[in-house]
């Protein structure tokens, strides 16, 4: 498999497959493709895993594209302005992503839901209890809203983050929620009552434009219902 990411703000992912290679995506995730690809849609892993993926923000069914020609290309596009990131995963290695981050992956990569273990992180963590978990081996591709900033945290090093800006992190990181101190900070700070804390070791990817922020901004320009 070879891939190329085109564009800047509205990127596209072009993947070239050779005979026998395959890649899967959520239903409706493909933008365009050449001849020589066979499409097969199914629950991939049974009803239980399908329902779990749906809770984690993906479609109930997944579609696999298998190359039946010497070579074929398939292109995927994101659902919002942002970046497409390739995520190479070793055997047994996982990455935790926000809901709706998954774009596509090699068939050897497992996509599953991931539960936040602490009650507070689920209630106030910006994305609820359920996230996405990608496990290797293989390469997956995720879409992140806005620009991306990656931090490689050392053991004990901590970041305090508006929860909506967390796009992806390694499972070695510790994720928690803390309450903002001070009544005036609650009233006038504009950041809500809670901040996320991520403590190393491990990498964390932050996004500059959470979709919730974009939706709130656009809402002010939409016509009011009668």
Which residue has better confidence, 111 or 66?
A: 66
Q: 131 preceded by cis ω (within 30°)? A: no
Which residue has better confidence, 38 or 126?
A: 38
Burial of residue 167 (CB within 10 Å: 0-12, 13-18, 19+) is: buried
pLDDT at 27 over 80: no
Q: What is the pLDDT of residues 137-187, one digit of tens each?
A: 999 999 999 999 999 999 999 999 988 899 999 999 998 887 766 454 444
Report CA dihedral (93, 99, 105, 109) to the nearest 10 degrees: 30
Tokens encoding 120: 């507070």
Which residue has better confidence, 51 or 209?
A: 209
Predicted confidence band at 55 (pLDDT cuts at 50, 70, 90)? Answer: low
Q: Which residues of 178-212 are buried (b: 16+ CB within 10 A; e: fewer)?
A: eeeeeeeeeeeeeeeebbbbbbbebbbbbbebbbe
pLDDT at 197 over 80: yes
Which residue has better confidence, 45 or 63?
A: 63
Domains and CATH numbers, the chain: 2-216 (3.60.160.10)
pTM: 0.83
Identify how many contiguous H helices and E strands the chain contains and give both numbers.
4, 19
Contact 80, 153 (CB under 8 A): no
Identify the pLDDT of residue 152: 98
Identify the pLDDT of residue 40: 93
Among residues 44, 163, 47, 149, which one has the least CA distance to residue 102? Answer: 44
∠ CA 14-147-5, nearest 5°, is 10
pLDDT at 79 over 60: yes
Identify the pLDDT of residue 125: 44
Neighbours of 162 (CB within 10 A): 16
Identify the pLDDT of residue 124: 46
∠ CA 173-147-155, nearest 5°, is 20
Residue 144 to residue 95: CA distance in whole angstroms:
14
Identify the pLDDT of residue 130: 73
């Amino acid at each position: 498999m070879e891939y190329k990411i085109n564009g800047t703000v509205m990127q596209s992912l072009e993947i070239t497959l050779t005979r026998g290679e395959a890649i899967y995506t959520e239903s409706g995730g493909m933008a365009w493709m050449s001849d020589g690809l066979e499409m097969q849609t199914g629950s991939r892993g049974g009803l239980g895993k399908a329902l779990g993926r749906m809770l984690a923000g993906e479609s109930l069914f997944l579609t696999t594209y298998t190359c039946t020609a010497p070579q074929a290309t398939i292109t995927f596009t994101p659902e919002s302005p942002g970046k497409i990131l390739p995520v190479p995963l070793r055997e047994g290695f996982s990455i935790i992503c926000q809901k709706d981050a998954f774009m596509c992956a090699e068939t050897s990569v497992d996509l599953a839901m991931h539960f936040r273990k602490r009650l507070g992180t689920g209630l106030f963590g910006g994305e609820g209890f359920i996230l996405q978990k990608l496990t290797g081996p293989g390469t997956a591709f995720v879409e992140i809203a806005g620009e991306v900033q990656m931090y490689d945290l050392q053991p004990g090093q901590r970041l305090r983050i508006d929860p909506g800006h967390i796009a992806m992190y390694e499972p070695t990181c510790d994720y928690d929620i803390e309450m903002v101190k001070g009544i005036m900070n609650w009233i006038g700070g504009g950041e809500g009552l809670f901040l996320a804390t991520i403590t190393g070791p491990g990498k964390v990817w932050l996004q500059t434009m959470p979709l919730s922020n974009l939706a709130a901004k656009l809402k002010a320009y939409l016509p009011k219902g009668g």
